[in-house]
Structure 1
Amino acid sequence: MGRRVWCCCWPGLFSTALLYGSLALFISILHNVFLLYYVQTFVSVYKIDKVSFWVGETVFLIWNSLNDPLFGWLSDRSFLSSPQSGPQITTPEVVLRRLKALSTNGPLFALSFLGFWVAWASPGLQFLLCLCLYDGFLTMVDLHHSALLADLAVSTSDRNRLNFHCSVFSALGSFSVFLSYSFWDKEDFYCFRLFCVALAAFSIVGFFLVSRLLRDRFQKEVLLRQDEAQTLKDLNVGHAPLTQPEKPVTIRQYLKQLSRHKNFQWFVSMNLIQVFHCHFNSNFFPLFLEHLLSDNISAYTGSILLGISYVAPHLNNLYFLTLCQRYGVYEVIRWLFMLKLGLSVAMLLAGADHIYLLCIFIASNRVFTEGTCKLLKLVVSDLVDEDFVVNRRQQAASALLFGMVALMTKPGQTFAPLIGTWLLCAYTGYDIFERGPVKDSLVSVPDVASDPGTPPLRLGCFYMLVFVPITCALLQLVAWSRFTLHGRKLQGIKTLRQGAQHNHLIDVKAI
């Protein structure tokens, strides 16, 4: 009896927003470690050859891009119909479907994370299989978690509240980076493996418990709606038997609708560059620390700088969300692009010899870039609203639209290490796959590099550090200036969606 009472009271201790945000913790503690160490593990520990690395990244590029719309379509195809076609699917039922998917794929995502840290096949084969398996489960988890942002709330304030909790828990999850630096040793990998097993176990338990609590909460809402629907059916209320049901939208029709969605096209153009820049910073952060700062700062300072660069974006996002509430997401993102451009130009003019400025810039560059990424889910949620209103959906196809965004932008995740390693080798002659420098580089090193105080590799790393964000910021500002879903237009879209789904929305004040 006591156990039953405890199980009934336990879900009531936490708000929906708190439980939703905690799911970000179980994703971030694993994904941050993955981003930081998977390239170094296969290059430095497993000694993967260059051809296998490029083949693996190329196959991963294809799979990484295609699985998002594929899983999104499988998840949301039943929603792609007009309001008159077939039985109505209520918002609580949609949320329940997503939570069931999270309760299954979350633990599998954590298990796939473990496959990177034990050598169980040839390096090339393991690299390919681990990347594809891990990204498949990550996609399922991320798609449904992101889609819940659009399904749980429509108003900007409620979505900001949900995103606020995600930022808090993502910041907590980023502390795994602090701990990982203490366990990382490419010469003795045993302790790092144990650390990864502990992270995965924590994530599995977390996904299981939180998704179960949320499912219990929304199951009550679904049963209530089913009882109401049965009552209406018994009374013959709310039915139009003479109405000819329309066929669901096919994938071809959906793609045709999306091709006319101009804001979607400009957004993915900007976001492709953003994904590239985020992963470029993650993949080459250790390289920048080693070749730009290692002779001037201690290992302890390097670990602090690394940890801050992962934690600060989430904490900073709490402030960005307050700005979004006041000025709108569009304006805040535009300011962040301009700030990234200004800081990069200032660092270029200052030069590579100002160590403290380099420390601040390396950290802030990642902080503001990642901070922008944290706000983009809000923009995609607004695009979901626009798609719902313009195409008169029965239910918003949230996961599918998030998947289509990923289809167009995730190639940047693969381009980051490939273009970065090519640029480094082309400019300085340094090949991370070789133990010695390449003799013939494609571009001669400037005369400044001949100075004994500024080695060619260090200068090349510095130029990569500043020119990549300058180029990205300029391109993003151009694309973002063409995006029109903000201000009065956005408010109009939200009003129309709230009116269309008035009878099916969850009471967001309970969140």
Structure 2
Amino acid sequence: MGLRLLACLFHWPTAVIYGSLSLFVSILHNVFLLYYVDTFVSVYKIDKLSFWIGETVFLIWNSLNDPLFGWLSDRVFLSAQQLCIEKLSVPQEKRITLAEYLQQLSRHRNFLWFVCMNLIQVFHCHFNSNFFPLFLEHLLSDQISVSTGSFLLGVSYIAPHLNNLYFLSLCRRCGVYAVVRGLFFLKLALSVVMLLAGPDQVYLLCIFIASNRVFTEGTCKLLNLVVTDLVDEDLVLNRRKQAASALLFGMVALVTKPGQTFAPLIGTWLLCAYTGYDIFQRNPLSNVVSAQPKLESAAALEPTLRQGCFYLLVFVPITCALLQLLSWSQFSLHGKRLQRVKAQRQSLMQGQAPEVKTI
């Protein structure tokens, strides 16, 4: 409604208004993701306990708001549809509760494997964003100029959108499943090559840091296509009157959005465990954030910190890729099965069964 009002006021096409809104939201979101850890630690000098409490509150609300609004959205839509059915004197269909819907979803095998894979993907996307400044500072800052670092940062945010123009055409030819699987293999291969090359290959390191974000973000943007297929399968499996699309998207977010919180928490823990570098540790004399442990000088810590950053940079995507390939191999909603689901959905929409359930 708001988009239509803006379109009328400024005489702009709705697509332009929607695209502009999406652009500005994306800019704010990405800037926040990139700098919020550094801002809270370096500017506001937040302590570790407060940071963890804040992340926990964020995890709870960030995970619950999507299924909540999805459920409300589907309820409003289906209630309006139910009113129309009553006015037309058509027999009412059996309604199910939210608890029954969740029980049905727990038996939806492809949904379960998808959210396992997507949780790891969300974690990796946000890990890349949260630690991008750290990787640039400790792996490349003394070997590239500030403008080159800014260029890498810009490319890593713009390229996924341009890449997806090609990925979408590739999905039409090969299928989403095959494209996503190929991106997982590519992520694994690039990480292994970087691990073997070592942290001293500057140009290769620049390419890897940028491409790691590009392909990871690109994968994230393709996964909504898979969710739409899961909506169709859910409708067919449970013979629903109307697809519960908003609620299913919300349930995907409920399970996968905790990855946004796990990324900074697990990343900082791994870095501290391996190198002794604690981003929350402060020098009591200057009251500023310090990477210097009590028993080591900054100069002695730097080589270990650099090595630790490099291992984080390569081992996190290797681990993520292996786990994702394992879970994705169990996902069966592609090829002939996907075609059958689409055909069954079409037949359900043309002629409903006598007793069909809605939420």
Q: For the superposition of Structure 1 and Structure 2, which TM-score range results when normalised by the shorter chain?
A: 0.7 to 0.9
Task: Give the partner amino acid of 2:304.
Answer: P
Report the secondary structure of 1:87's partner residue: helix
Cα distance, 1:25–1:88 mapped onto 2, change above 3 Å: farther
1:297: how far off?
0.4
Which of 23, 32, 42 in structure 1 is aligned with 2:30? 32
Which of 275, 292, 303 in structure 2 is aligned with 1:437? 292
Taking CA–CA contacts closer than 8 Å with sequence separation of 6 or more, which of the two structures ends up with the larger relative contact order?
2
1:377: how far off?
0.5
Q: Does the aligned pair in 1 maintain the 2:292–2:301 contact within 8 Å?
A: no
Which of 251, 254, 274 in structure 2 is aligned with 1:427? 274
1:293 corresponds to 2:140: yes
Task: Give the partner amino acid of 2:225.
Answer: L
Where structure 1 has 5 or more consecutive residues not aligned to the other structure, the ranges are 1-6, 90-232, 234-238, 442-449, 504-511
Q: Deviations over 1:277-319 (max 9, x none)?
A: 0000000000000000000001111001101001111111111
Q: Does the aligned pair in 2 maintain the 1:79–1:393 contact within 8 Å?
A: no
Q: TM-score, normalised by structure 2?
A: 0.86
1:24: how far off?
2.4
Q: Deviations over 1:321-361 (max 9, x none)?
A: 11001000000000000000000000000001000000000
Cα distance, 1:262–1:23 mapped onto 2, change above 3 Å: farther
Which of 460, 470, 486 in structure 1 is aligned with 2:308? 460
Equivalent position of 2:320 in the other structure: 472
Cα distance, 1:63–1:488 mapped onto 2, change above 3 Å: same
Q: TM-score, normalised by structure 1?
A: 0.61
1:488 corresponds to 2:336: yes
Equivalent position of 2:84 in the other structure: 87
- Summarize the alignment of residues 97-496 of structure 1 with structure 2, pairs less than 5 Å apart: 239-240=88-89, 243=91, 245-434=92-281, 435-439=290-294, 455-496=303-344
1:46: how far off?
1.2
1:411: how far off?
0.9
Cα distance in 2 between the residues matched to 1:502 and 1:9: 39
Report the secondary structure of 2:147's partner residue: helix
1:390: how far off?
2.0
1:78: how far off?
4.4
Cα distance in 1 between the residues matched to 2:184 and 2:72: 35
Cα distance in 2 between the residues matched to 1:502 and 1:340: 42
Task: Give the partner amino acid of 1:87.
Answer: C
Cα distance in 2 between the residues matched to 1:9 and 1:467: 51
Q: Does the aligned pair in 2 maintain the 1:386–1:493 contact within 8 Å?
A: yes
Percent of pairs identical after alignment? 74
RMSD over equivalenced CA pairs, Å: 2.6
Q: Does the aligned pair in 1 maintain the 2:236–2:344 contact within 8 Å?
A: yes
Q: Deviations over 1:168-206 (max 9, x none)?
A: xxxxxxxxxxxxxxxxxxxxxxxxxxxxxxxxxxxxxxx
Report the secondary structure of 2:84's partner residue: coil
1:492: how far off?
2.2
Cα distance, 1:389–1:354 mapped onto 2, change above 3 Å: same
Cα distance in 1 between the residues matched to 2:180 and 2:247: 24
Task: Give the partner amino acid of 1:475.
Answer: L
Cα distance, 1:454–1:10 mapped onto 2, change above 3 Å: closer
Task: Give the partner amino acid of 2:35.
Answer: Y
Q: Which moved more, 1:455-464 or 1:22-31?
A: 22-31
Cα distance in 1 between the residues matched to 2:69 and 2:76: 13
Q: Does the aligned pair in 1 maintain the 2:58–2:261 contact within 8 Å?
A: yes
Task: Give the partner amino acid of 2:187.
Answer: K
Task: Give the partner amino acid of 2:235.
Answer: F
1:23: how far off?
4.1
Cα distance, 1:278–1:294 mapped onto 2, change above 3 Å: same
1:34: how far off?
1.2
Cα distance in 1 between the residues matched to 2:117 and 2:295: 35
Cα distance in 2 between the residues matched to 1:69 and 1:377: 15
May I ask how many residue pairs the two structures share in their alignment?
334
Cα distance, 1:480–1:261 mapped onto 2, change above 3 Å: same
Report the secondary structure of 1:315's partner residue: helix
Q: Does the aligned pair in 1 maintain the 2:176–2:222 contact within 8 Å?
A: yes
1:388: how far off?
1.9
1:45: how far off?
1.1
